[in-house]
Chain A
């Protein structure tokens, strides 16, 4: 998802736990929320920093493929809408960084780790947005997939993370609908426009399925994260839900999901579908996707070019505070 393949630390059988760890697990099992000053196992804290940090980085890096089209949106209204959406993503990044900061890491530290390549962001943002229809596909599919993951996370065990998710989910539904609205306009347009919409779906379908991460039904990391309730569903469950939700939406648009293996399975009450190419996913995570280098370059440039603003505003604030104190 926005946080993919997060490794968790500290998986322990109940009889190996210290009394504190056992009491902590009991609180989670009772559905209590863990708050910043509460005692927590070091593994819980570290895993959450990794997960929330990756999620935050994804929101911020996710602005880049869409930002690419702000100056080229087809109408002024679409441009304003896209600008508002990209601004929301910056806000989502902020909510999540703030949640991570309650765990004792600073935002600058997290940014530093991203820029040094020590933390990741979602694989999906390493794909290019080549046409305006891609902006529709991103809102519809990428934000749609994100919602799948974020709605259950509103019930996650860590209070600040859950509260950030509540805010994000409220805003996210605008994002998906604006994407679908672009797709509807394109799909009902000229044959060329419809072909662009189909092409965008073709390119974004499998990368969207990859967002949920590879099957984790046998993963010890996922089992630990689920015990801690910082992961609520398995990757396969969410992917299945996403496919089942998206297929009728594509049909409504008159577009075809690029999967010859797609078929309704009456017995399981869901669709059978083809897996994405997981070797491609691992390559993208390793840094070999179409846009990895470009995204990191843009983030590093923004950070470095913004340094004088950050420092200048801080110096100005300190000077004013000093003058104020001297009065």
Chain B
């Protein structure tokens, strides 16, 4: 019973040059098997051209409770968005 295979997170890059994207997870004994299984489970309909797998335990994640302080610095800097600046229509497209 103690032989439960570890959990892996699966990332797939689609056809059009986009980033690898998290698609789900699966159990596998090794990285090689995780990639094999990911191919069978997550790319049955041409969803991808490249697969990454990483042990779920190896992922470090931010805590939801830190959401406020963690993202506050960017919330406070609205001037980072182009819409912050009023450009008269006469200037044309910018």
- Supposing A37-B63, A87-B44, A91-B41 touch, asked if A167 and B24 sit within 8 A by C-beta, the answer is yes
* Contact of B44 (CB < 8 Å), options: A35, A88, A316: A88
Are B25 and A98 closer than 8 Å at their CB atoms? Answer: yes
**Which A residues lie within 8 Å of B44 (CB)?**
84, 87-88, 91
* Contact of B4 (CB < 8 Å), options: A94, A108, A315, A320: A108
Are B61 and A311 closer than 8 Å at their CB atoms? Answer: no
Q: Nearest B residue to A109 by beta-carbon distance?
A: B4
**Considering the chains assembled together, what is the distance between the CA atoms of A52 and B25 in angstroms?**
16
- Supposing A88-B44, A317-B30 touch, asked if A101 and B24 sit within 8 A by C-beta, the answer is no
The answer to whether the Cβ of A313 comes within 8 Å of any Cβ in the partner chain is yes
A100 to chain B, nearest CB (A): 11
**Considering the chains assembled together, what is the distance between the CA atoms of A302 and B41 in angstroms?**
20
Q: Nearest A residue to B37 by beta-carbon distance?
A: A94
**Considering the chains assembled together, what is the distance between the CA atoms of A163 and B23 in angstroms?**
9
Contact residues on A (Cβ < 8 Å of other chain), bracket: 20 to 34
**Which B residues lie within 8 Å of A321 (CB)?**
30
A13 to chain B, nearest CB (A): 27
**Which B residues lie within 8 Å of A164 (CB)?**
24
Are A313 and B64 closer than 8 Å at their CB atoms? Answer: no
Q: Nearest A residue to B67 by beta-carbon distance?
A: A38
**Considering the chains assembled together, what is the distance between the CA atoms of A179 and B35 in angstroms?**
31
Are B7 and A101 closer than 8 Å at their CB atoms? Answer: yes
**Considering the chains assembled together, what is the distance between the CA atoms of A311 and B33 in angstroms?**
14
**Considering the chains assembled together, what is the distance between the CA atoms of A43 and B64 in angstroms?**
20
The answer to whether the Cβ of B1 comes within 8 Å of any Cβ in the partner chain is yes
The answer to whether the Cβ of B5 comes within 8 Å of any Cβ in the partner chain is yes
**Considering the chains assembled together, what is the distance between the CA atoms of A35 and B65 in angstroms?**
12
* Contact of A38 (CB < 8 Å), options: B4, B7, B64: B64
The answer to whether the Cβ of A18 comes within 8 Å of any Cβ in the partner chain is no
The answer to whether the Cβ of A95 comes within 8 Å of any Cβ in the partner chain is yes
Are B29 and A316 closer than 8 Å at their CB atoms? Answer: yes
The answer to whether the Cβ of A288 comes within 8 Å of any Cβ in the partner chain is no
A: which residues have CB within 8 A of B?
35, 37-39, 84, 87-88, 91, 94-95, 98, 101, 106-108, 163-164, 167, 171, 310-311, 313-317, 320-321
B: which residues have CB within 8 A of A?
1, 3-5, 7, 24-27, 29-30, 33, 40-41, 44-45, 61, 63-65
Q: What are 25 A-B residue pairs whose CB atoms fall within 8 Å in the complex?
A: A35-B64, A37-B61, A37-B63, A38-B64, A39-B64, A39-B65, A84-B44, A87-B44, A88-B44, A91-B40, A98-B25, A101-B7, A106-B4, A107-B27, A163-B24, A164-B24, A167-B24, A171-B45, A310-B29, A311-B3, A313-B33, A316-B29, A316-B30, A317-B29, A320-B30
